[in-house]
Amino acid sequence: CEWRISTKEIVKKFIGHSAGVMCCEYSPTRSRILSSSKDGTLRLWNSDTCEVKQVLRGHMDWITKCCFSPNGNRIATVSWDFNAIIWDARDGRELHTLRGHSGAIGGVAWSADSKQIVTSSFDSTLKLWNTVDGVLITTMEGHSQRVNHCAWSGDGQTIVSCGDDGTIRLWDADAGSEITSFQGHSDTICSIAVSPDKSQVISASEDCTVKVWDAKSKNDSLGHSDTVNDCTFSNDGSRFFSASRDGTISMWDVDSHKIVANFSANDKSPISSCALTASYLFGAEESGKIRKWSLDNPDSETSFVAHTSPITSIRVADNKLITTSWDKAIGIWSSSGKHLQTLRGHTDWVNSCAVRANKLLSVSHDHSVRVWNLDNHSSSVLGSHDNWVLACNWSSCGRQAVSGGFDASLKLWDVSRGDCVATFDTHKKRVNDCLFSNGGRLMISTSHDRSVCVTDINSRDVVTSFALKGHGSALSLHGNHTGAVDTLGNVYLMDLMLP
């Protein structure tokens, strides 16, 4: 049926299919209407007279989607018979049958230049095809369940998909690689659309909601030549530092995403963690050394031995350095390298720590989360995980803490009561770092499952997530800028627009 929107009246009826119509579309000139049906046929109609001009047969099952190419010369159809067909829109000839999916195909979209299509299938993949010769260009894998719909951005650079796994994924159309993903629906996502300026994606779901997403969030991947173990922002947020096993700490300009300086030791010893004061950069090594550079002079390196085993983290508090190590100890040092105090209490490797005012959180291979009073150096066990605890952080108010572990869980703690408030099964594999948003309503975490997830503490829903190329290893936050690093040497800078 054709409807008049202003009066909500049926203007015309097009009768001819013998089973349910699954899709319909105007031609670019609006002179014809295209329809596909469960009867396995494709029909071309005169939009003025409602007459059937052509009936196209070629599929062996329901035709789920049909669409004209932007130039109006071609038609693409997809079907439950696992195939896509390219037709000549002028004479109805079948030009190419595209075979390669191993499941029903539910979505198809043309590129802006009418030379390619993307198809989405129940086999959990998307495929990019050259419609000139019918050759498969690439297969895009990332969804864990069937992919229901796909769309192309107006500039032809990005493909968007959605599926039964509840995720929306953005793909680089040239490389066929995943750029990022969004998660927030609680059920199957049936359809998506991209705004003309590519700034927003709209999704419709069986959870009875329609959501609008900011598609401009940056998720740029930069790089080291080995695993990146730690990262941090400068106090003003203009610089981002990444510490790597390749023996360097790189200082990045946040706006341009370019390296401003590299800090490294002559022996290129692997760096496990980094921290900043207003004037100095500190790098902790797997050798047990701490190296110090002036931020103005990358060649000004000095060092001292802090531990006899690898250092797992380094933090700065009141111009003092706090380190954790495989030697089961926490060290406190002056910024010049003078030893001030050793804290002992853990019975296995100490993996990380976080400082707020006179309180210190520490987590360990002994499965425990400890809280320390830095004034009198006393400690108590806040709680434990079912396996090694790898990361921890404070909320901005200091009343709550979060920890992440090898058991793939995130735990939210009420520090004053010493209670575990909630356990979150956000990730599928071990959680390597976690922190709170500035407002404290969200938790950001990264994991060996190659993702960064943003979780609403109250609803426990994943608000959004980003795919990483490697296993996520560390996070840092400054305002709306989130930095992440992974085990393949990649550095990611993202604008999450967090409340």
pLDDT tens sequence across 405-445: 999 999 999 999 999 999 999 999 999 999 998 888 999 99
Instruction: Give mean pLDDT, residues 87-104.
Output: 93
pLDDT at 219: 46
**Higher pLDDT among residues 465 and 484, named by residue:** 484
Q: Is pLDDT above 80 for 154?
A: no
**pLDDT of 197:** 67
| 220-495: CATH architecture | 7 Propeller (2.130)
Checking if the pLDDT of 218 tops 70, the result is no
347 vs 192, residue with greater confidence: 347
Q: What percent of the chain has pLDDT over 70?
A: 96
Give the model confidence (pLDDT) of 290-310 as tens digits: 999 999 999 888 999 999 999
Predicted confidence (pLDDT) at residue 278 exceeds the cutoff of 60:
yes
pTM score, two decimals? 0.61
Residue intervals in the chain for CATH 2.130.10.10: 2-214, 220-495
Question: Across the chain, what does the average pLDDT equal?
Answer: 90
pLDDT of 198 higher than 70:
no
Confidence of residue 349 (pLDDT cuts 50, 70, 90): very high
The pLDDT > 90 percentage for the chain reads 62
Contact 404, 391 (CB under 8 A): yes
The confidence band for 217, taking pLDDT boundaries of 50, 70 and 90, is low
The per-residue pLDDT for 10 is: 85
343 pLDDT higher than 80: yes
Mean pLDDT score, 367-378: 96
Tokens matching residue 340: 């001030």
Residue-level pLDDT at 220: 47
> Architecture of domain 2-214 in CATH?
7 Propeller (2.130)
- Of 149-158, 317-326, 418-427, least confident by mean pLDDT is 149-158
Tell me what pLDDT residue 227 has.
86
Confidence of residue 215 (pLDDT cuts 50, 70, 90): low
- When mean pLDDT is compared across 68-72, 266-270, 342-346, the lowest value belongs to 266-270
pLDDT at 334: 93
Which of 170-174, 192-196, 293-297, 459-463 shows the highest mean pLDDT?
293-297
